[in-house]
Structure 1
Amino acid sequence: MSEPEKNPGAIQSPLHQLIADLSDGIVLLDPDGRLRWANPAALEMHGVESLEELGPDVDAYRRRFELYYRNHHEVGEGRSPMERLLDGEAFEDVILEVRPGDPELPDRYHRVRGRTLSREGRPDALALVIEDITELMNAEERFERSFSANPAPALICHLDSQRFIRVNQGFLDMTGMEAEEILQRSIYEFDVFAHSPQRESAIQRLCAGRSIPQTEAVLHLGGRDDGSKCVIVAGQPIDVENAPCMLLTFTDLEPARQAQHALRQSETLFATVFQMSPVPTALVSADSLTLIEANAAFERDLIRRADTSEPPGLEDYSPFTPQTRKQLLKALEKASHVEEMEVHGVDDANNPTIYVLAAEAVEINHRACLLLTLVDISERKRYENQLSDAIETVMKDASWFTRTLVEKLANVRGAGNDAALSDQPALADLSARERDVLGLICEGLSDKRIASRLELAHSTVRNYVASLYQKLGVHSRGEAIVWARQRGFQGSSET
């Protein structure tokens, strides 16, 4: 393979022509360290156009190009591929980052092999075979950055060794493990398919380099408090550094499992409270008011009609008449809840009963429902009516009552009704003469005495009293006195 010494880059034989056309770079060195020849591919890989720019010898080459390993450590003195060739060392697939001295030129990645060419048993030339893998390394670097930054938990398993060679931060965050606890462990030492119903199939697919469908598994986290974690794992074959690998991605099922557990606890608690509540409570569908479930108090306290079906519907219970149903649906058109709706039914002795019905919209198992509660206020209503009748009776002639007693009776009768006052007329709505008449009524004067006091005709006073009754919404002098006391009106002294 001798060449003219005046032009060592010249091609003199078909063999040299063949080498010159190779896509791989070829650099020939003499045993004394001089660079004898380089093909165009080798020159292009270094960003130069001639052998002189590449360097006349190994020392010049080292001065013009900085060499680094993949871990960014600089290649030490005497350890460059050319120097190793000169020392008689053959090597395969050494990956180097080559940085030209000219900052305008881009850095490149080379995969280098070294060969010694002999003639008649003696070294004749040293050959450096170079493959430009810059694009591949840049793609791998982009993949590494994307893999590390991806929040989705992931591992990379080397198929030949069946050991994990990459782990991203998402996986470490999900498991709480350190990278050293995972890297270089085999798929059997750190079993990512544990407890999966498709475990054997998944391992077979991994060994064969075939994609692995999603499957549920349990990761055992060593001696940590949480111990294990439920995940969904899937695999996709990829190449990393020209080696077949499997990219394993994970979905953490623990939040969903905890949410389901909390939901089951909540449903159990709701069911317990629902059944133990002393208040009659029922769950019905929101659209048709179909009875879904009723608690024990509902079954115990509400009377079913004689011709009820099995299982009973809501309309089979005495308070839920067609009128009540219509009233409830109409109220629900305006709001998602109903409060203080009075409904009527009967007890087991066929006596009338009064309930306060409340309804609240809820969602159970993705179904729109209503939670109904009923409170029996029959006794309270009877007491209020009896008290009102008693007060009404004594108020028919209040002339002998002291003012203090009238006020106390008014307060008793008006207890709990303060909220309703805002819907009734105020004192300011009365004329001055109407207030005069009302004040004298509160003092217990009859129509004749009021007429005498105000110097009005008896018929005129009667007209004022009738007008007062209409404005105040009352039907007797007693009710008028109560109305005035509820508003702090003290009589004619305030007029």
Structure 2
Amino acid sequence: MSAVPALKSLRDSADLRHLRQIIAGLDEGVILVDPDQSILWANNAALGMHGVESVDDLGATVDDYRQRFQLRYRNNHRLDGADYPIERVVSGEAFSQVVVEVAVAGENEPRWVHQVRSLVLTDDADEPECLVLVIQDVSAQFEAEDRFEQSFNANPAPAVICRLSDLRFVKVNQGFLDMTGHDKDAVLSRTVYDIDVMANADKRDLGKQRLSEGRTIPQMEAEIDLPEGGTKLVIVAGQPIDLGDQPCMLFTFADLEPRRKAEAALRHSEERFTRTFSLAPVALAIGALDGHRLCDVNEAFTTLTGYTPAEIIGRPLGQVDLWETPALRHAIEADISAGRAIRDREVRVRPKDGDIIDCIVSTEPIQLGNDACVLWAMRDISTRKASERELVGAIDAVMKDTSWLSRSIMEKLARIRAPQSEPTGVGLDELTPREREVLALICRGLDDKSIARTLGVSGNTVRNHVARIYSKIGVNRRNAAAAWARARGFDGDSLLAQRAAAPAAAPRQTAA
């Protein structure tokens, strides 16, 4: 208790007045506390950091201060009475950089963040004479750090932060954990090279050098090892930052794995297309829409045209003179330029040897990389066309003299020769009895003279009947008329049988 008189003398002494004058204009807040726990004085900065205007508003004693202000650590843990910095300084403890959040009593949210250190002034006997709290308002700093922390954690872009002093990770966001599958605690206990964020990078040596110098690390592709095995392709870059008072490096990442998978899928697709294109038995070629130049041809195409790839690739088809006529080339190129696909169009093609061949051509627009192209497909139908021509010639020859063929064969040949003679809206009822008789004899293969003798009429009358029959049923040839009748189940046999059974009529030489 012997210290009390000394304290009394200090309160009113010139030394205290001089001390107050010295610290009054400081930016840091200063609170002077008597060893008897009474608050002697505070400068304006300290008052402003507590939102009060006078020392009395801080509290007359340490107990009053505790009642008026609630303190907690940054982790939201409230301070017990003995942990208050003002209590610790009264107990003679020396400390520095204690960070506390300060709230006015009765309020849940803190108003300020204080960084506090202590100072003990002693007398000649080295006894505490005045206790000093030195306060800095670091609210703005910690608000900025809080905003950075929230932004860092909420940012979907993967990121980690390491201290430059020991290269240990001190922060990791959810984006990095999601990208790699690492556990947060496992990451924060390791270094940059334990979880190598620049593994297999093409500029790894430069990255290591910049990291050791605390300088910006440029973007580079790297492969990060995953905890379950395998790697992930990323772009990584580093930016120096200060976290608190510690120099650090912020690593940010872009996940390239989707791109790598897409490129692999595209590569496999292109390989399959190339194999199919090369081995296809149909002649195939790929051309550019611009100028109709050929970009690639398969073996079947070179076999069909006789041109080697070196002779035809890079040249427009028009320059190669592949089409039979310029008009055909212009028509095909106009359809291609207009974006119209060609489907099974019969064309005539001139191969390298000059012999014209019949082909069926189809086209399909395709996209190769960034280029718009067209896929050509050609099929040689020369053999089929030749067979058709031979068959038509044979039918024409047979239809001129069918006496040696059975009626069923004649009918089948007639149908093959005249496939266009499909049933129309005209029926047998549209024909007169005489016209049906004429048609029945046509079905038997008789010519006009034979029909005239059979019916006992003139040749002109028969020709007139035949012309009217053609006009009514929409044909212009005898075999087509026979096919039309057969298609309707009319062969004329029953009609002619009825006519033969009827009493013979006197031959007539005029039209019936």
TM-score by length of 1: 0.80
Aligned twin of 1:259: 262
- Within 1, Cα distance between the matches of 2:465 and 2:111? 113
Q: How many Å apart are 1:107 and its aligned residue?
A: 2.3
Corresponding residue to 2:115 among 103, 111, 114:
111
The C-alpha deviation readout for 1:215-265, integer Å capped at 9, x for no partner, is: 22222234x232x22222112222222332221111122222222222222
- Within 2, Cα distance between the matches of 1:438 and 1:152? 91
Aligned twin of 1:357: 361
Partner SS, residue 271 of structure 2: helix
Q: How many Å apart are 1:340 and its aligned residue?
A: 0.7
Q: Which amino acid aligns with 1:127?
A: V
The C-alpha deviation readout for 1:11-70, integer Å capped at 9, x for no partner, is: 973541342222221122222322222222222222222223322222232232222211
Residues 47, 105 of structure 1: 8 Å contact kept: no
The C-alpha deviation readout for 1:345-381, integer Å capped at 9, x for no partner, is: 3679976421111122222242222221111122222
Aligned twin of 2:34: 30
Q: Which amino acid aligns with 1:189?
A: D
Task: Go from structure 1 to structure 2 and tell me whether the alpha carbon gap of 1:111 and 1:348 turns closer, same or farther (over 3 Å shift).
Answer: closer
Corresponding residue to 1:170 among 145, 150, 175:
175
Task: Go from structure 1 to structure 2 and tell me whether the alpha carbon gap of 1:21 and 1:442 turns closer, same or farther (over 3 Å shift).
Answer: farther
Corresponding residue to 1:241 among 238, 244, 261:
244
Q: How many Å apart are 1:130 and its aligned residue?
A: 1.3
**Whose radius of gyration is greater, 1 or 2?**
2
The C-alpha deviation readout for 1:81-111, integer Å capped at 9, x for no partner, is: 1222122221111111112124398622111
- Within 2, Cα distance between the matches of 1:438 and 1:401? 25
Partner SS, residue 146 of structure 1: helix
Q: How many Å apart are 1:152 and its aligned residue?
A: 0.8
- Within 2, Cα distance between the matches of 1:443 and 1:231? 87
TM-score by length of 2: 0.78
Task: Go from structure 1 to structure 2 and tell me whether the alpha carbon gap of 1:363 and 1:26 turns closer, same or farther (over 3 Å shift).
Answer: same
15-24 vs 404-413, which moves further:
404-413
Aligned residues, how many? 471
Task: Go from structure 1 to structure 2 and tell me whether the alpha carbon gap of 1:465 and 1:160 turns closer, same or farther (over 3 Å shift).
Answer: same
- Within 1, Cα distance between the matches of 2:27 and 2:432? 114
Q: How many Å apart are 1:441 and its aligned residue?
A: 7.6
Aligned twin of 1:294: 297
- Within 2, Cα distance between the matches of 1:398 and 1:99? 119
Aligned twin of 2:166: 161
Q: How many Å apart are 1:203 and its aligned residue?
A: 2.7
Q: 1:383-422 counterparts in 2 under 5 A?
A: 383-391=387-395
- Within 2, Cα distance between the matches of 1:171 and 1:102? 41
Aligned twin of 1:220: 225
Aligned twin of 1:367: 371
Partner SS, residue 337 of structure 1: coil
What's the % identity of the aligned pairs?
38
Aligned twin of 2:479: 478
Q: Which amino acid aligns with 1:427?
A: T
87-96 vs 194-203, which moves further:
194-203
The C-alpha deviation readout for 1:252-290, integer Å capped at 9, x for no partner, is: 222222222222222222222221112111222222222
Q: How many Å apart are 1:208 and its aligned residue?
A: 3.0
Aligned twin of 2:211: 206
Task: Go from structure 1 to structure 2 and tell me whether the alpha carbon gap of 1:294 and 1:271 turns closer, same or farther (over 3 Å shift).
Answer: same
- Within 1, Cα distance between the matches of 2:127 and 2:320? 111
Task: Go from structure 1 to structure 2 and tell me whether the alpha carbon gap of 1:375 and 1:11 turns closer, same or farther (over 3 Å shift).
Answer: farther
- Within 1, Cα distance between the matches of 2:134 and 2:405? 124
- Within 2, Cα distance between the matches of 1:284 and 1:375? 17
| Two-structure CA RMSD over aligned residues (Å) | 4.1
Task: Go from structure 1 to structure 2 and tell me whether the alpha carbon gap of 1:430 and 1:399 turns closer, same or farther (over 3 Å shift).
Answer: farther
Q: 1:437-452 counterparts in 2 under 5 A?
A: 443=440
Corresponding residue to 2:154 among 145, 149, 155:
149
**Residue ranges of structure 2 left out of the alignment (5+ in a row):** 1-5, 493-512
Q: Which amino acid aligns with 2:386?
A: R
Corresponding residue to 2:100 among 96, 100, 113:
96
Aligned twin of 1:284: 287
Q: How many Å apart are 1:304 and its aligned residue?
A: 4.4
Task: Go from structure 1 to structure 2 and tell me whether the alpha carbon gap of 1:12 and 1:96 turns closer, same or farther (over 3 Å shift).
Answer: closer
Aligned twin of 2:278: 275
The C-alpha deviation readout for 1:456-495, integer Å capped at 9, x for no partner, is: x8676455345347xx4x431322454677xx655699xx
